[in-house]
Amino acid sequence: MTELEEVYRLYFKDVYRYALSLCKNETLAEELTQETFFKALENLERFDGKCKIYVWLCQIAKNSYFSHLKKERRYDSDVEWESLAAEGDMEGETLQKAEIFELHKRLHALEEPYKEVFSLRTFGELPFAQIAELFGKTESWARVTYHRARLKIKEELI
């Protein structure tokens, strides 16, 4: 088994879950995951080992997702808020469509890294340890950032 096959076997599920947390679409997440490993294979010589391979793969997945969004925006300027609302559930509360729309508006207005940390934790259900690893920070930083993002969203919704 080659090194890339071993990396694929070890990280496929994690990269898929990360992609799914970004896009909320199983089919797209599968495509992004495949694209991620294809790009990793093409650019293996660029991996310098300064971060963990999982972090590098997630960065590739994130960039692939952003590229996908840019292409989609060119073709469709309408965002399907109803599908987003059906998939997102903030801490088990059932929110009405208008409230969900407001939540997404507030989330969209958040500055980074609050927006991404909140999305990864709430919608992607990633543990704080993995979020911290993605950002190259501590688990405490991920917890505090998530908590602050949640407070900012709640303040805006009240």
Q: Are 66 and 98 in contact (CB under 8 A)?
A: no
Predicted TM-score (pTM) of the model is 0.49
**Domain boundary, last residue among 75, 96, 120:** 75
Residue 141 has pLDDT above 70, yes or no: yes
Residue with tokens 């799914």, as numbered in its chain: 20
What is the distance between the alpha carbons of residues 55 and 133, in angstroms, rounded to a whole number? 7
Signed CA dihedral, 79, 87, 141, 37: sign only: negative
What is the number of structural domains in the chain?
A: 2
Please identify which residue in the block is written with the tokens 């991996």. Answer: 47
Q: Alpha-carbon distance 71 to 152, whole Å?
A: 30
Longest Cα–Cα distance in the chain: 55
Per-residue pLDDT tens over the stretch 103-120: 777 777 778 888 888 888
146 and 95 fall within a common domain: yes
Domain that holds residue 91: 81-157
Q: Which CATH number characterizes residue 108's domain?
A: 1.10.10.10
Q: pLDDT tier at 99 (50, 70, 90 boundaries)?
A: low
89 in the same domain as 147: yes
Q: Of 45, 75, 105, which closes a domain?
A: 75
102 and 44 in a common domain: no
Burial class of residue 3 (count of CB atoms within 10 Å of its CB; 0-12, 13-18, 19+): exposed
Residues 146 and 93 in one domain: yes
Q: Taking Cα atoms as reference points, which of 119, 89, 126 lies closest to residue 13? A: 126
Same domain, 85 and 152: yes
Q: pLDDT tens, 16-58?
A: 888 888 888 888 889 988 888 888 888 777 777 777 888 888 8
* Rounded-to-integer distance, Cα 96 and Cα 116, Å: 23
Q: First CA to last CA across the chain, in angstroms?
A: 55
The answer to whether 88 touches 123, Cβ cutoff 8 Å, is yes
